[in-house]
Structure 1
Amino acid sequence: MAILEKRRGLLLALASAPLALLAAGCGFRLRGTQALAFRTLHVTGGDPVFLTELKRAVAAGTGTQLVDDPKAAEAVLFIDGIARERLILSLSGAGRVRELELRLRVQFHMNDAKGQPLIAPSQISLKRDLTYDDTQVLAKEQEEALLYRDMQNDAVQQILFRLAAIRPRAG
C-alpha cells in the first residue's frame, strides 16, 4: 500500500512539473510598481470618489509623487468628465425591464509642466450587462453599484497603463 502511495506521489510530481514550467514561461508576474516618465504629478477634475481612487493607485502603484500645486508638478492629469449611463437592452412581454447595460465613460488629457500635451484628449469607455428583476430591486441596486465600482477600478488601471506608456522626450 505504501509503495502505491509513493508511486502516486511521484507520478503527480512528474505530471505537475511541466505545468509549473509552462506557467513560469508564459510571462506571468505580479503587477508590482510601474515606472512613470515623471517624478511628480498633479491630478485634477472629475468626480471626487474617482479622483481619490486614481490618486491612491498612483501613490501605491508607481514611484511618482502626487503634489497639490500644479506648478510644482512635472505633469498634470486632467479628468475632464465622468459619465454613467443606464440603457435598457430588453423588455419582457409585460413591458418590464429584463436587461440593462451600464456604461462608464472617463474623459481625460495630460500636459507636461510647460503645457505641452503628453496625452491628447482621450476617452475610456466601459460597459457591463445587468439582468434586472423588479422583485429584487434592492439586490439589483447593490449589484449595479458593484458593477460601477468595478468599471471605475478598471478605468483607473487603464489610465495608469497609459501613463506608464509615456516616454520622456529628448531635449
Structure 2
Amino acid sequence: MHLFAHRPTSTPSRLGLRGLACVLLLAVLAACGFRLKGTSPLPFDTLYTNINENSAFGADLRRLIVATSPNTRFVDDVTEAQVRLTQISMQRSMREISISPEGRVEEYELNLVFVFKLSDAQGRELLPPTTLSSTREVPYDPDALQAKQGEIGSLFQEMQRSLIDRIVRRITSPEVNEAYRNLPAVEPATQGIAPATPAVPDDSMPPLDYTPLPGPDMIPSSSY
C-alpha cells in the first residue's frame, strides 16, 4: 500500500491569487473615484505666502505642501518666489439652528470660510480667487458648557485640517500645473516684481480657541 503525503498549496499560486485580488480591489476603488495619496510635485520650486507661519493653520498648510511636493521651498522674501499663495480672507462663525420651546439654543452650526488665490511673480493668476468652506453641526447643552467648548474647539480644528487638504489639492491639480507651464515668457525689459500682498495680521487669522459659549441665561445673536 502506497501512502501519499499531503502536499500544501504552492506558494506561487497563493501569491498569484493575492496579487489578483489586489488588482481587482484597486480597480474597484478607481471606479469609485478613490485616489491613493502620494506626492504631487509642483512645477515651481519657490513659494511665498502671506499666511502667518506661526499660526496652527499656516504651519499645517506648509507641512502638507512640502510633504506633497518635496521640491517646493517656502521663502520669506516675495522677490525670491516664483509663485504666491495669497490669503484673501478667512472667517469663522457660529449660529444657532435649533431653539427649544423655552427659547434656549439646542444646536449650533459652525462655519469656516477661506478665500485665496495663486499667482506668479508678475501677478498673473494661476488660480483665481477661490472660496472653500466647511460646515459642522453640534448640539448645545448649557449644563455641560465646558465639554461643549472643548468639542467645538476640536471641530474647528478638524474643519481647518479639511480646508488645508482641499487647498493643497487645488494648487497641485493638473490644471494649475498646466497653467504655470503655459505662462508666456516675460521680456527682460518688462520684468518686474508685482507688489506683494501684505502679510495677514495675526488678529485676522482666527486662533484655534474661540469666544466661550453663552450660559443658560444668555441667548446669542444670529451670527457668532
* TM-score (structure 1 length as normaliser): 0.82
User: How do 1:95-134 and structure 2 match up within 5 A?
Assistant: 95-134=103-142
**Residue aligning to 2:67:** 60
Structure 2: unaligned runs, 5 residues or longer: 1-17, 185-224
Report SS of the residue matched to 1:161. Answer: helix
Q: Whose radius of gyration is greater, 1 or 2?
A: 2
How far apart in 1 are the matches of 2:19 and 2:77? 53
Match of 1:23 in 2: 25
The higher relative CO (CA closer than 8 Å, separation ≥ 6) is in 2
Q: Does 1:72 align with 2:76?
A: no
Aligned partners of 2:21 and 2:100: how far apart in 1? 47
On the 8 A contact 1:46/1:80 being kept in 2, the answer is no
For residues 152 and 57 of structure 2, the distance between their equivalents in structure 1, rounded to whole angstroms, comes to 17
Q: Given the alignment of the two structures, is residue 39 of structure 1 paired with residue 39 of structure 2, yes or no? A: no
Counterpart in the other structure of 2:164: 156
Task: Compute the displacement of 1:18 (Å).
Answer: 8.1
The amino acid that maps onto 2:63 is: R
Q: Which one has the bigger strand percentage? A: 1
Aligned-residue identity in percent? 31
Higher helix share: 1
2:83/2:121 contact within 8 Å kept: yes
The Cα RMSD (Å) is: 2.2
Report Cα offsets for 1:54-108 as digits up to 9, x if no partner: 1121122212111111111110001122110001000111111111100000011
SS state of the match for residue 33, structure 1?
coil
Q: Give structure 1 stretches of 5+ with no counterpart.
A: 1-15
**How many corresponding residue pairs?**
157
